[in-house]
């Protein structure tokens, strides 16, 4: 009869093997499956010939060896910014035409709100950065605001806000890439 410790160790080993065979490695480095769904001809190399899946994913890259003649280790698509449709009406940028309906507006990838007269009802959304796009060293921040800007106003501009570091922009543009550095 196995001891409790042996049973736990066996269970842990089975769990690791099951997760390893399910493509969990990409999730382990923070990549979404959709970020790695890239046609072979569109892949940007992120490794070297015969790179292992482990080394590739440790570089925060995608690995797919199913297509010959294209990079197997390649850069992922960046995570999309979250769309934000709630911000001051005076800041709306028109995205439609007079009399556009909600369905046509949404089909254009735009926001629709007909509750305020005198402003565009179909307007471009703000792109709200995901948290990982706001991890920017102070020396690399690109200013997106003005002195004493509030966190709310900064966010309304689609920018990141971090007031912890003096002497650098507190309201700054988000990163364009994934949280991985290439």
Task: Give the CATH number of the domain where residue 101 resides.
Answer: 4.10.110.10
Residue 105: give the domain boundaries.
80-126
Q: How many CB atoms lie within 10 A of CB 47?
A: 18
Both 12 and 53 in one domain: the answer is: yes
What is the Cα–Cα distance from 80 to 77, expressed in whole angstroms? 9
SS3 content of the chain, % helix, strand, coil (to 5): 30, 10, 55
What is the Cα–Cα distance from 72 to 64, expressed in whole angstroms? 5
Q: What is the pLDDT of residues 111-126, one digit of tens each?
A: 899 998 999 999 988 7
What is the Cα–Cα distance from 35 to 26, expressed in whole angstroms? 10
What is the Cα–Cα distance from 120 to 98, expressed in whole angstroms? 9
Q: Give the chain's domain count.
A: 3
Q: What is the pLDDT of residues 64-73, one digit of tens each?
A: 999 889 999 9
What is the Cα–Cα distance from 93 to 112, expressed in whole angstroms? 11
pLDDT for res 158: 80
**DSSP character string of 70-91:** S-SEEPPPPPPPEEE--S-GGG
Both 64 and 45 in one domain: the answer is: yes
How far CA 61 is from CA of 46, 53, 75, 101, 127, in Å, comes to 7, 9, 5, 42, 24
Grade residue 44 by pLDDT with cuts at 50, 70 and 90: confident
pLDDT for res 82: 57
182 within a domain of the structure (yes/no): no
Which of 110, 90, 112, 109 lies closest to 101, judged by CA?
Answer: 112
Asked whether the beta carbons of 72 and 85 are under 8 A apart, the reply is no
pLDDT for res 122: 94
Asked whether the beta carbons of 176 and 33 are under 8 A apart, the reply is no
Mean pLDDT comparison of 6-10, 24-28, 135-139, 164-168, highest-scoring range = 164-168
Both 121 and 135 in one domain: the answer is: no
pLDDT for res 81: 55
105 within a domain of the structure (yes/no): yes
Both 119 and 84 in one domain: the answer is: yes
List, in order, residues 6 or more apart from 17 with CB less than 8 Å away: none
Asked whether the beta carbons of 50 and 22 are under 8 A apart, the reply is no
């Amino acid at each position: 009869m196995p001891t409790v410790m042996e049973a736990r160790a066996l269970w842990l080993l089975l769990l690791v093997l099951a997760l390893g065979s399910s493509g969990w490695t990409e999730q382990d480095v923070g990549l979404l499956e959709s970020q790695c769904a890239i046609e072979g001809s569109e892949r940007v190399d992120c490794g070297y010939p015969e790179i292992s899946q482990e080394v590739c994913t440790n570089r925060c890259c995608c690995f797919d060896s199913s297509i010959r003649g294209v990079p197997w280790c390649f850069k992922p698509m960046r995570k999309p910014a979250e769309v934000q449709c709630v911000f001051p009406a005076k800041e709306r940028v028109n995205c439609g035409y007079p009399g556009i309906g909600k369905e046509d507006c949404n089909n254009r990838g735009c926001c629709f709100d007909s509750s305020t007269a005198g402003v565009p009802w179909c307007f471009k959304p703000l792109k709200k950065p995901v948290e990982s796009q706001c991890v920017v060293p102070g020396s690399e921040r690109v200013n997106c605001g003005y002195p004493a800007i509030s966190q709310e106003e900064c966010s309304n501009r689609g920018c990141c806000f971090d007031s912890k570091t003096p002497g650098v922009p507190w309201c700054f543009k988000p990163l364009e890439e994934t949280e991985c550095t290439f």
